[in-house]
Amino acid sequence: MSRAPRRWLLGSVVALSTAGIIGIGVTDADAASTVTTVVGPLNVRTGPTTKATVVGQVPNGGTVKLACKVTGEQINGRIRTTDQWDRLDSGRYVSHAYVRGATSLPTCPTEPGPNGSMTPAQFVAASVAPAQRGQLEFRVPASVTIAQAILESGWGRSGLTANDRNFFGIKCFHGSPGAIATGCHSYATHECAGNVCTPTTATFRTYPSATDSFRDHGHFLTVNSRYAPAFAFTGNADQFLFQIWKAGYATSPTYVQNVTALMKKYNLYQYDLR
């Protein structure tokens, strides 16, 4: 299958040096940056978790230029224990557990993401940035993420999505929303075994934003070992989708065909990062 030219919306991997970080795509919100030193060496990652890809390292005493802060994985570092991660001007992240000072960083603005009032073209366009950010952090093909969001949320119009910003139907397990979601909400739904679907009640995760839901999608697939075989196919979106379905992501027997049809119709493959 031919692929259209890819759209690189998140920028290339940044260059790191002992003098600091060479930033790209700095927004107005990032303009008032804080320059500080680290007690390292400190890894620079694509997301606020140790599961995210390492794209560079700052040595002990090196300088970083920080734009804002987010909540991520709690880290026991050389300065403090904290779940704060600092976003660099480059859009990458470092754990605040290794950063000196920088106590007055602003909270990073939340990307708007897609919603149910958008046209299909607008929905896809709004989904590209969070899906590609998820690919950088968790290696899930952006095309799969966008197509699943369309199908699972009914273009953002399902009650689960409209009420709780849950775009992927990810459930709570044992009453826990996991590391990124903020709560749980019970809904009537259906579970299918083969061609037989029966009504049931299930508890789903709730999110403060669409961006958090997209990020949790990648995190969910990464931390659940049954989906591990799919990550041998991160360069093949169709096969990646088949593998997560085979592992039990969805019970519908036509799930793969339905998601693949969306990927082809809207040429979502063009958004996959290589």
Active site members: 191, 216
CA dist 204 to 35, 160, 161, 176, 192, Å? 40, 8, 10, 10, 17
- CB of 6 within 8 A of CB of 274? yes
Reading the block at residue 5, the tokens are 């030219």
Q: What are phi and psi of 223, to 5 degrees?
A: -85, -15
* Rounded Cα distance, 102 and 76, in Å: 17
In the beta sheet, which residues pair with residue 176?
173
* Rounded Cα distance, 94 and 87, in Å: 7
User: Which class for 269: exposed (0-12), middle (13-18), buried (19 or more C-beta within 10 A)?
Assistant: buried
Place of tokens 């030219």: 5
Nearest to 148 by CA among 38, 252, 30: 252
The one-letter amino acid at 115: N
CA dihedral over 139, 140, 141, 145, signed as positive or negative: negative
- CB of 135 within 8 A of CB of 146? no
